[in-house]
Structure 1
Amino acid sequence: MKKTLALVTALAASSLVMAEEQTSSDLANRLYIGGTISHNMVDSAFGDGSVDAPGFGLFLGYKLNDEMPDIDTSLEIGYSQTDEFFDGKNNEINGIWVAAVGEKRLPEISPKVSVLARLGLDVGDDDGILMGAGMGLHPSERIALRAEYLNKDSSSVMQLSAVINF
């Protein structure tokens, strides 16, 4: 059921992207790539709090047409992977995810600062809904930095991301 839901979500997202008429330069201006480093936590099965592991991720994003000033919406698809949480084998969390992202620039504070939220699906070792919130910094038009907190089905993630806009 979860894999079917993820497939339907991915197909719907790709339909939205393809539905908009674009030139090739417009498409290139809407795409971005990013990479993350993360600190991943899962609740311990032994009642001792949580265990954690470092991780990384890669993602591709597509900016949607926005009619609202200072608000950007996009779709992202990515892959995330952690180190092992315990000594042994096969106790890491890996998966593919897809998410809708909303980002609100905060010109009252600085034109380079934003807040963001995401909602999506994670398919892999931590199947389920993916939710998150964070802050963004845009030192230039092509580069963005993000700090986010994500809540997945079995884990919580604090991550730092770098984004390159085309």
Structure 2
Amino acid sequence: MKRQYFGSAFVLGVCLAASNAMAQDLENFYIGGGLSHNSASGLDGAFGAQVLGGYDFGPILGDASIMAEVGYMNTGNMDRSWSPGSVSARGLWANGVVSLPLTGHWSLLGRAGLDFGDDDGIMVGIGGAYRITQQLDLRGELVTRDNIDSFQFNFAYRF
């Protein structure tokens, strides 16, 4: 029960901070979401979804941009391969993300942070992004948590 209250307070705090900052400057904020294929040891894979929001601090390390992201994920129901029933995981996460431009449209993404949900602990990932328009990116990433690996396919919309 405490985790649920912590999660609600965390989301509320992020939303209040974001709304205050948004009133000042929207251009560095983005929101997004997408689908994922999730797997864990001893479980069949399942399709899930996630939503995310972030702030792009811009190029800090040469051409590389540093971003802060928070999100919520749900793995969907992963069936047990050795007995009846299924398992799912969901929860909040927070990551630092680095985006390194490769060409005019392509960038390499790397992430590291924490998952505060059912698979709490360290979360890392690597992938790529394709800039469709000035505001819209398409991302593909492999994200690993303590117990769950995900291939994520997300859109990110920049304000």
RMSD over aligned Cα, in angstroms? 2.4
SS in 1 for 2:116: strand
Which residue in the other structure is 2:127 paired with?
134
Quick one: structure 1 residues 34 and 104, their matched pair in 2 at CA, closer, same or farther if it must change by over 3 Å? same
Which residue in the other structure is 2:100 paired with?
104
Give the partner amino acid of 2:40.
V
Q: Which has the higher strand share?
A: 2
TM-score (norm 1): 0.77
Which residue in the other structure is 1:47 paired with?
none
Contact residue 33 and residue 154 of structure 2 kept, 8 A:
yes
Which residue in the other structure is 1:67 paired with?
60
Alpha-carbon distance, 1:124 to partner? 1.3
Identity over aligned pairs, percent: 29
Counting only pairs closer than 5 Å after superposition, residues 26-105 of structure 1 correspond to structure 2 as 27-44=25-42, 50-86=43-79, 88=85, 91-105=87-101
TM-score (norm 2): 0.80
Alpha-carbon distance, 1:51 to partner? 1.9
- For residues 91 and 60 of structure 2, what CA distance do their matches in structure 1 show? 33
Q: Structure 2: state its 5+ residue gaps.
A: none
Q: Structure 1: state its 5+ residue gaps.
A: 45-49
Moved over 6 A (4+): none
Q: Give the count of matched residue pairs.
A: 142
